Amino acid sequence: CLLAVAAGLWSCSGTQQTSAPKGKVSIIPMPASISEKADSFLLDKQTVIVATNESDKKTAALFNAWLKELTGYELSIADKGDKNAIILHTGNDTTNAEGYTLTVDHNGVTINGNSSSGTFYGVQSLIQLLPVEKARAMFIPGVSITDAPRFAYRGLHLDVSRHFFSVDFVKKYIDLLAMHKMNTFHWHLTDDQGWRIEIKKYPRLQEVSSKRKETMAGRYADNKYDGKPYGGYYTQQQVKEVVQYAADHFVTVIPEIEMPGHALAALAAFPNLGCTGGPYEVGTHWGVYDDVFCAGNDSVFLFLQNVLDEVIPLFPSKYIHIGGDECPKVRWEKCPKCQARMKQEGLKDEHALQSYFIQRMEKYLNSKGKQIIGWDEILEGGLAPNATVMSWRGIEGGITAAQQKHDVIMTPGEFCYFDHYQSKGPNEPLAIGGFLPVNKVYSYEPVPTELNSDEAKYIKGAQANLWSEYINNNDYMEYMVYPRASALSEVLWSPKDKRNYDNFIDRLKVHVKRLELKKVNYAKHVFEVTG
């Protein structure tokens, strides 16, 4: 036991130890304010969790699941108790809902959440105060924490079109996201290479659009197709399961249905929705395809509205992402229907036609009580009135949108594209390109200096994107995400003046043991990466 304490592991199976060592708290993301005390609480089998509402009981159960991994037992959840207890209190502060306070002393633990999500984040911090080694009894260091996030939107994206990821993997992804106090999962469900959400009105989306004739893994490595058919999609029942799982972890799921570009998989099933009438095949190479939804054809809007009519009830999120990126205009330029539409609507060019497309879809979604998010190309030809912009081609789109008083989520490739290489080591698996080591992620500042303080308020937060062209299995995905997402979580949650890279790396050394407990295949060379 003493050896364990000397090693900074604050746990022991015996009883001699009386307190946790000070200065060893390793919470990621760093809380807004934390003071350590020369005190500690000994959690044992008799400790109870006091939780009085349904949400807190669910959160208590999540704490128990973690504890069980470490100790082999779970705590009982009670309506009252003040000795040897972890007390969860939840208020209803809607202005700073995600904030909480957490105190630990020898009497026990008290968490006051400003709302249920605040209580949940308090419990996440408590989990990170636990030792990372298995033991029967756990010393929790005495602390007093007051915490709340810097940004309201803290996201991670997952592209399941280029490669498909199972429901179990998606749940684990969400679980890890929540552990880092991130609150948004952007689910990129459709693209040229596969349509991955069941739409009951259009079974051909399942039969045709969810499949392609090649897996394409490593295509650019050996420049060969492997000839093995590839496919997968989520049933609506599975989507509901994921959304509920996310809600239990205070994560909002934003679905993305791509339009008007990145639509080849849908066109393969419904060739009449393209300008040329096809035939089309689900994409079998990476990149941008010229064949997109025909903006002159009313059937396209009807199809997309019918799709969205099935998508909307599955996702309680106030946002639906409608893509909008990388839509070549070559087909529209030669399409009589598109040209007629432009004339009829008085649109001066194809960029204005793209804007017409997005605005028409926005109007539909707004009428159903939803707001749209789009990639920064939706600025082309005029922004739809209520749209939120995801700035990915650098930060300029975000600056322009904020200046136009539109909400912005920053996701510039240089800092937020986790499909880029994170090391220059010789054994790195094939990636799309770029170089984004963890220290560079950590250095990211989401609010551009070009904005004045009024404009800066429109920057709601940031997100990392995981495009999966090259990321073709679970281990590889986790390798690309962690610990870079741990770094991003601190950028998004912690006060700017609390960020310190060396200190982060010290905490990360403990934090990766938590990732190991969760069986996460994080990138292990990261401590050597200097950029």
Closer to ligand TNX by Cβ: residue 326 or 349 = 326
Closer to ligand TNX by Cβ: residue 60 or 431 = 431
Catalytic residue, chosen from 180, 188, 262, 420, is 262
Residues 6+ apart with CB under 8 A from 455: 402, 403
Contact call for residue 63 and ligand TNX (CB under 6 A)? no
Closer to ligand TNX by Cβ: residue 375 or 504 = 375
Catalytic residue, chosen from 39, 44, 241, 326, is 326
From the CB of 416, what's the least distance to ligand TNX, in Å?
10
Residue 30: its H or E element: none
- Report how far apart, in Å, the C-alpha atoms of 442 and of each of 362, 391, 428, 491 are: 35, 18, 21, 6
Q: Is 168 exposed, middle or buried (0-12, 13-18, 19+ CB in 10 A)?
A: exposed
From the CB of 481, what's the least distance to ligand TNX, in Å?
14
Instruction: Label residues 116-151 b or e (16+ Cβ within 10 Å = b).
Output: bbbbbbbbbbbbbbbbbeebebbbbbbbebebbbbb
CA dihedral 234, 238, 242, 244 (to 10 degrees): 150
Q: Report the C-alpha gap between 518 and 208 in whole angstroms.
A: 36
- Cα–Cα nearest to 481, from 422, 531, 434, 418: 418
From the CB of 164, what's the least distance to ligand TNX, in Å?
15
455 catalytically annotated:
no
Closer to ligand TNX by Cβ: residue 147 or 258 = 258
Task: Name the β-bridge partners of 407.
Answer: none
Contact call for residue 392 and ligand TNX (CB under 6 A)? yes
Closer to ligand TNX by Cβ: residue 67 or 481 = 481
Catalytic residue, chosen from 36, 98, 191, 350, is 191
The count of other CB atoms within 10 Å of the CB of residue 154 is 27
The answer to whether 437 touches 443, Cβ cutoff 8 Å, is: no
Closer to ligand TNX by Cβ: residue 181 or 186 = 186
Closer to ligand TNX by Cβ: residue 44 or 326 = 326
Contacts by 236-240, CB closer than 8 A, 24 or more apart: 236/197, 236/198, 236/200, 236/310, 236/314, 238/167, 239/197, 239/198, 239/314, 239/315, 240/314
In the shown chain, the binding pattern of residues 424 to 463 toward ligand TNX, with x for contact by CB under 6 A and - for none, equals --------x-------------------------------
From the CB of 392, what's the least distance to ligand TNX, in Å?
5
Using CB under 6 A, which of 121, 319, 356, 375 touches ligand TNX?
375
From the CB of 273, what's the least distance to ligand TNX, in Å?
20
Contact call for residue 326 and ligand TNX (CB under 6 A)? yes
- Report how far apart, in Å, the C-alpha atoms of 426 and of each of 141, 179, 430 are: 41, 31, 10
Contact call for residue 380 and ligand TNX (CB under 6 A)? no
From the CB of 165, what's the least distance to ligand TNX, in Å?
15
Closer to ligand TNX by Cβ: residue 101 or 468 = 468
Contact call for residue 195 and ligand TNX (CB under 6 A)? no
Q: Report the C-alpha gap between 112 and 84 in whole angstroms.
A: 17
262 catalytically annotated:
yes
From the CB of 261, what's the least distance to ligand TNX, in Å?
9
The answer to whether 347 touches 353, Cβ cutoff 8 Å, is: yes
Using CB under 6 A as the binding criterion, the count of chain residues that bind ligand TNX stands at 9
In the shown chain, the binding pattern of residues 463 to 502 toward ligand TNX, with x for contact by CB under 6 A and - for none, equals ----x-x---------------------------------
CA dihedral 506, 507, 512, 514 (to 10 degrees): 150
Using CB under 6 A, which of 417, 418, 479, 482 touches ligand TNX?
417
From the CB of 335, what's the least distance to ligand TNX, in Å?
23
Contact call for residue 325 and ligand TNX (CB under 6 A)? yes
Q: Report the C-alpha gap between 460 and 157 in whole angstroms.
A: 16
Closer to ligand TNX by Cβ: residue 120 or 173 = 173
Using CB under 6 A, which of 214, 419, 455, 478 touches ligand TNX?
419
Contact call for residue 256 and ligand TNX (CB under 6 A)? no
Instruction: Label residues 433-445 b or e (16+ Cβ within 10 Å = b).
Output: eeebbbbbbbebe
- CA 441 to chain centroid, in Å, comes to 15
- The dihedral built from the CA positions of residue 384, 97, 174 and 308, taken in this order, carries a sign that is negative
From the CB of 281, what's the least distance to ligand TNX, in Å?
18
Closer to ligand TNX by Cβ: residue 163 or 249 = 163
191 catalytically annotated:
yes
From the CB of 467, what's the least distance to ligand TNX, in Å?
3
Alpha helices in 203-295 (DSSP H): 203-204, 219-222, 236-248, 264-269
Q: Report the C-alpha gap between 201 and 500 in whole angstroms.
A: 52
The answer to whether 59 touches 88, Cβ cutoff 8 Å, is: yes
Report the greatest alpha carbon distance in the chain: 84
Q: Is 41 exposed, middle or buried (0-12, 13-18, 19+ CB in 10 A)?
A: buried
The catalytic site residues sit at: 191, 262, 326
| Residues lying near ligand TNX in the complex (CB under 6 A) | 325-326, 375, 392, 417, 419, 432, 467, 469
